[in-house]
Amino acid sequence: MDDPYRKSARIYDRIFDGMNKGLKLVGIRMFRPTKGMNILDVGCGTGTHLELYQRYQCNLSGLDLSQSMLQVASNRLKSTAQLALGDATSMPYENARFDLVIAMLALHEMSPKIRPQVLCEIKRVLKKDGRILLIDFHNGPYQPFQGWVSKGIIIIAELAAGRNHFINYRNFMNEGGLDRLINQQSLQIEKQQVVAGGTFGIYLVR
């Protein structure tokens, strides 16, 4: 299968990690991990998000469709995380295994058809009292000037990622983004923060 990240995986962190780290730290403040928790990052990419959870001595798992992204994650995380190559529509985990499932900047790039399937899978592998941390693009209102600049950078990055990627991003935004998906799946928002001038939403749901 074609790997859309074949060329960009090696430079992904140099471009995005600085910008995205703040979002991840907000997520950690929303849900403090504790020792021994089982945590899954769906669409874990290069593993920078799981790396931030290492200090909490949790059991870390990452799932991604891209072999190139997983290779970078594996070099970074070594044996501190169980990484799996696979599609989030059919996860290789038993029911009710995780205390926290994270999906950051993954849902917007999936086709609209599979987004509900992925959320159903997340619910399946989540413990009854577990939480889901969703971080993705948000539909404003965009604040001057931070929001406008951030929105401009996002559009350029999404265009650069290719036609299909951009179509899925546009659909995600036009269809109401995370708010709509959370509603459709009858998930309850426990905490929510909109940051970067209205361009990113961080949601803790159950």
Ligand X SMILES: C[S@@+](CC[C@H](N)C(=O)[O-])C[C@H]1O[C@@H](n2cnc3c(N)ncnc32)[C@H](O)[C@@H]1O
Q: Which is nearer to ligand X, 8 or 192 (CB)?
A: 8
Q: Measured from the CB atom, is 49 or 131 closer to ligand X?
A: 49
Measured CA to CA, the distance from residue 2 to residue 15 in angstroms comes to: 22
Residues that bind ligand X (CB under 6 A): 5, 20, 43-45, 48-49, 63-66, 69, 87-88, 104-106, 109-110
Which residue matches tokens 């899978």? 121
Which residue number, 106 or 196, has a Cβ lying nearer to ligand X?
Answer: 106
To which residue do tokens 């559009």 refer? Answer: 155
Residues near 195 by Cβ (< 8 Å), separated by ≥ 6? 22, 23, 26, 201, 202
Asked if residues 142 and 198 have their Cβ atoms less than 8 Å apart, the reply is yes
Residue 62 CA to residue 85 CA, distance in Å, equals 9
Find how far residue 129's CA is from the centre of its chain: 20
Q: Which amino acid is at 2?
A: D
**Spatial distance between the Cα atoms of 81 and 77, rounded to a whole number of angstroms:** 6
Helix or strand run (H / E) with residue 184: helix 177-184
- Distance in Å, CB of 118 to ligand X, minimum: 6
User: Shortest Cβ distance from residue 87 to ligand X (Å)?
Assistant: 5
Least distance between ligand X and beta carbon 77 (Å):
13
Distance (Å, rounded) from C-alpha 163 to C-alpha 140?
23
* In the complex, minimum distance from the CB of residue 66 to ligand X, in angstroms, rounded to a whole number: 4
Query: Given the complex with ligand X, which of 88 and 187 has the nearer CB atom?
Result: 88
CB of 33 to ligand X, least distance (A): 17
Give CA angle at 1 (80, 162), nearest 5°: 90
Complex with ligand X: residue 2 or 129, whichever CB lies closer:
2
> Which lies closer to ligand X via its Cβ, residue 68 or residue 141?
68
Q: In whole angstroms, how close is the CB of 79 to ligand X at the nearest point?
A: 20
